[in-house]
Amino acid sequence: MSEFSASYHLKAGDREEAIALIRNAGHQGYVYPEQNGWVTFVVRGDVFEVNEEIIAANTGLLVYYIYAEDHGWGMRIFQKNEPVFEYSADWNEELRIEKPTYDLELIRKLIGEQGNSDEGIEALFETDEEEMFGLDEPPAYTIAESLGLTYFAWVSADYLENDGVDPSIAEVE
């Protein structure tokens, strides 16, 4: 089975902020415990498109992360409701990379805030197909880990609803 993950990561010290964001947007979802200054959450509904109501209700720094193992990956970062970083790599036919809003300095800053090295990070956004599939782990994973994201692999509302919700995850109705 191939991985299809889609999640939001709010820069926050308390998961109540993510719960409030989901409710203010009029949605339902699941919120993970805070880790490394990030609160991961997923919303019910179409998970492979950015939820515009979530973005409109956002008052902080929010990462939308998507990884489809056999198809591509992407990351969008919003400051409030404004996109400040957008990247996608699609390899359905041949590798196609899009960077409509590409601020590598923001990525470096966020990585540095975690105490992680940003060495080689630019190459992960520029990799070709042969390099990408020859790496020990997908560039998407390396970048997420460097940013301090903990809950990103095999994470989506569908996975939680099909596999069961861990007691540490809050459900937002």
Distance of CA 155 to the CA centre of its chain: 10
Count of residues making up the chain: 173
- pLDDT of 129-165, one tens digit each? 666 666 678 899 999 999 999 999 999 999 999 998 9
Q: How far apart are CA 61 and CA 37, in angstroms?
A: 11
What is the residue type of 88? S
Domain count, the chain: 1
Q: How far apart are CA 17 and CA 5, in angstroms?
A: 22
Q: Distances from the Cα of 31 to the Cαs of 2, 79, 137, 154, in angstroms? A: 23, 20, 26, 15
- The confidence score (pLDDT) of residue 123 equals 87
- pLDDT of 71-119, one tens digit each? 999 999 999 999 999 999 998 888 899 999 999 999 999 999 999 999 9
- The confidence score (pLDDT) of residue 133 equals 63
Segments forming the whole domain that contains residue 38: 4-172
Sheet holding 29-31, edge to edge: 96-101, 82-90, 72-79, 61-68, 4-11, 38-43, 29-31, 170-172
